[in-house]
Amino acid sequence: MSVWAGGGCSASGGWKKITIPSLLEKKRAGLRISAVTAYDFASARLVDEAGLDAVLVGDSLAMVMQGHESTLDVTMDEMLVYTRAVRRAVRRALLVADMPFGSYQVDEAEGVRNAIRFVKEAGAEAVKLEGGRERADLVRRIVGAQVPVMGHVGLTPQAVHRMGGYKVQGRTLEAVEVLRQDVRALAEAGCFAIVLEGVPREVAAILTAELSIPTIGIGAGPECDGQILVWHDMMGLTGSSPAKFVRRYADAGTLMRDALARYKRDVESGAFPSDAESYHMPLGAREELEAQNEAQPEVQA
Ligand code: KIV
């Protein structure tokens, strides 16, 4: 088979694979980009079937899947496991893997090596990393190794200790100028898109207009070229009340809790499983078994 055959591009009008060029084309055409996180096979399959443009295996999984207090704990090897599971489900959407804390901050060669691991060992099509100007050289090297990079500025959760908490960034004119320099440096270094997280709407709108690559917002207002939400937030699967920018599109938590309560009740009352939910022996063998059983002498206590 020719490598030019590509995947999923159906001449009969079926689904079309989302690629880096097609995301750039969306920005040029003024079409918005839809993205969401996913961390496992089942949810990733739903995302892909729903036709979203991009799936991010975010390091937010440290919190929503593993129960850590921040994103800092998840390791490179763990991120690879989750990315592989998502890869098995995703056919159409662009699959982006998040580089975890510690996998690219120490030295650039290690960052490039880890970015390549996501592609080679887990089937990611791009990686995302946090930071601005200080990451430009690294982005250049990763892109030079043929791994597309998505930037991430504003509220960058891996910098939670430096920021002193999860705080909206870019609220002063000086801070806006810093953000502007950061996104410019990332775009010049070769990022194909930039996540703007926790940034005032007005600022995100200006940065989006100034950039030729798409911005993907989370808590950054509607003028971004696209939006991303964390799966557990949008599905109502997080215990705490969601942040202001989260819209809950489903109350899956309540749905699942109710299902579990009904299941427990049915198990305890004997209503589950029913006869229809049980397997049976073939008729002849069943009658023989019953006859045999009746012929058995009763066991004395
Ligand atoms: O890890 C993550 O889920 C993210 C998104 C919030 C952009 O980085």
Helix (H) or strand (E) holding 151: strand 149-154
Q: Is residue 11's pLDDT more than 90?
A: no
**Distance (Å) from CA 155 to ligand 1 centroid:** 10
- Ligand 1 pocket test: which of 34, 65, 71 has the largest number of ligand atoms within 8 Å of its C-beta? 71
User: Residue 293: inside a domain, yes or no?
Assistant: no
Q: Residue 165: inside a domain, yes or no?
A: yes
Is 10's pLDDT higher than 70? no
* 218, HSE (Cβ side, Cα atoms, 13 Å): 27
Q: Which CATH number fits the domain that encloses residue 90? A: 3.20.20.60
The per-residue DSSP string of 196-252 comes to EES--HHHHHHHHHH-SSPEEEESS-TTSSEEEE-HHHHTT--SSPPPTT------H
pLDDT at 3: 60
Q: Which residues are catalytic?
A: 197
Q: What is the pTM of this model?
A: 0.93
Select from 37, 74, 118, 229 the residue to mutate for testing ligand 1; criterion: most ligand atoms less than 8 Å from CB: 37
Distance of CA 160 to the CA centre of its chain: 20
pLDDT tens sequence across 256-267: 999 999 999 999
Residue 8's SS3 state is coil
Hey, which of 65, 72, 153, 230 would you mutate to test ligand 1's pocket, going by the most ligand atoms within 8 Å of its Cβ? Answer: 230
Could you tell me the end-to-end alpha-carbon distance of the chain, in angstroms, rounded to an integer? 73
Domain region containing 200:
3-234
Confidence at 240, pLDDT banded by 50, 70, 90: confident
Q: Which residue's CA is the nearest one to ligand 1's atom 1?
A: 58
- Per-residue pLDDT, averaged over 208-232, amounts to 98
Q: Which residue has the higher pLDDT, 15 or 144?
A: 144
- Which pLDDT belongs to residue 7? 54
Q: Whose CA is nearest to atom 8 of ligand 1?
A: 58
pLDDT of residue 6: 52
Nearest residue (by CA) to ligand 1, atom 2, is: 58
Closest atom of ligand 1 to 58 CA is 1
Is 100 a member of any domain? Answer: yes
Helices (H), 96-218: 108-122, 136-144, 160-163, 173-189, 201-210
pLDDT of residue 239: 82
For residue 136, report the distance from its CA to the centre of ligand 1, in Å. Answer: 20
Structurally, the chain folds into a number of domains equal to 1
Residue 2: per-residue pLDDT: 56
pLDDT at 241: 87
Cα gap 123→118, rounded to integer Å: 6
**Could you tell me the distance, in angstroms and rounded to a whole number, from the CA of residue 229 to the centre of ligand 1?**
8
Q: What is the mean pLDDT of the chain?
A: 95
pLDDT of residue 15: 78
State the pairing for strand pair 226-229/215-218: parallel
Pocket of ligand 1 (CB under 6 A): 37, 56, 58-60, 98, 195, 197, 218, 228, 230
Query: How much of the chain exceeds pLDDT 70, in percent?
Result: 94
Residue 241 lies in a domain: no
Q: Is the pLDDT of residue 299 over 90?
A: no
Q: In this model, does residue 12 exceed pLDDT 60?
A: no
Chain segment 85-110, per-residue pLDDT in tens: 999 999 999 999 999 999 999 999 99
pLDDT computed for residue 295 by the predictor: 87
- What is residue 297's predicted lDDT score, i.e. its pLDDT? 73
Instruction: Give the ligand 1 atom nearest the CA of 157.
Output: 8
What torsion do the CA atoms of 105, 107, 112, 114 make, to the nearest 10 degrees? -60
d(CA 270, CA 247): 39
Per-residue confidence band for 236, with pLDDT thresholds at 50, 70 and 90? very high
Say how many Å lie between the CA of residue 271 and the centre of ligand 1: 43
In a domain, 156, yes or no: yes
For the segment 181-199, the average pLDDT, to the nearest whole number, is: 98
Q: How far apart are CA 64 and CA 69, in angstroms?
A: 9
For the cut 70, the answer to whether the pLDDT of residue 301 exceeds it is no
pLDDT for position 296: 80
For residue 286, is it within any domain? no
Token pair for 220:
């950054």
Q: Confirm whether 194 is domain-assigned.
A: yes
Quote the ligand 1 centre to 72 CA distance (angstroms): 12
160-183 mean pLDDT? 97
Atom of ligand 1 nearest to the CA of 195: 7
